Amino acid sequence: MTWPCKHAERPPGRHDLVFVSPAGWRAMLDARGDLATDALVARWSKMRWPTIRRRALPGEANGLALGLPLPPSAGKRRISLQVDSDHVTSVARPLLLRQARAYAPRNWWATLDRLDALARCHAVNARVLGSLAWQSLTGLDYVTTRSDLDVLFEFRAETDIDRFVADVVSIETDAPMRLDGELMGADGAAVNWREFHSGASELLVKSIERVALLGRHQFISGAMAS
C-alpha cells in the first residue's frame, strides 16, 4: 500500500519514512551485489515502498543512511542502505497509531484505541513503529503472536511525561501484547519509555547523530539539540 507523504522540508530524521526514486534504488542495489537476486528487495523497489532513516554507521560518511527491515518470512533481515539525497523523492513521519489500526490483530484494537485516546488527552502524537508499521505500509505479514507493539510517543513541552508514562504502564497491564517504544521530544532526541519510567537519573538518549547519557530534566528540556 502506498501512503501519502510530504516532500522533505528538513533533513530526514530518525524513524522517518524515506521514499527513494527508481534511479536511487538502482544505485543502492548496484552498490549491494549481495541483493542482486533478492526477489523481495526487488519487489520493494518496484512497489515504491519506503525505507527508514537510521543513524549512520562508522565509515558511512557519504549519502543518507537508510534501513530496510524484511518480514519474518524473509528471516527478519535488517538491510543497511545508503542513497544520495538527490534520489530522495519524499519523506514522511511514521504512521499515526490510528492509521495502522486496521492492519493490527483484532485483539489489539482495544489497546490501540486506549493508547490513542491517552495520547490525544496528553497532547502527544502516538506513531507506530516496528512490525505493525511495516505490515501497514506493505501489506506483508510482519505481526506474529510474539510481536510487540512499538510506539513512538512525540511529546510537547507542556506534556506531563511522568503522568503520561504511568498511564501507558496501566494500559499495558490489560494489553494482549508487550508495549515497547520511545518518547521523542521536539528536538528529535528519544529515550525508551520504560527506561524513563524506571526513574533513572540518567537516560540513554538517541538522536539521528549520536547516542548520549543525559539527565532526565536535560532530556525533557531538549538539551540534546544544544
Which of these is catalytic: 38, 116, 148, 187? 148
Residue with cell 502506498: 2
State how far Cα 149 lies from the chain centre: 12
CA dihedral of 18, 114, 222, 212, whole degrees rounded to 10: -70
To the query of whether residue 148 is one of the catalytic residues in this protein, the response is yes
Q: Is 162 a catalytic residue?
A: no
Beta strands per DSSP E along the chain: 17-20, 51-53, 64-69, 78-83, 88-92, 125-129, 149-154, 179-184, 190-192, 202-206, 211-215
Q: How far apart are the first and last CA of the chain?
A: 38
Buried b (16+ CB within 10 A) or exposed e, 7-38: ebeeebebbbbbbbbeebbebbbeeeeebeeb
Catalytic residues: 148, 150
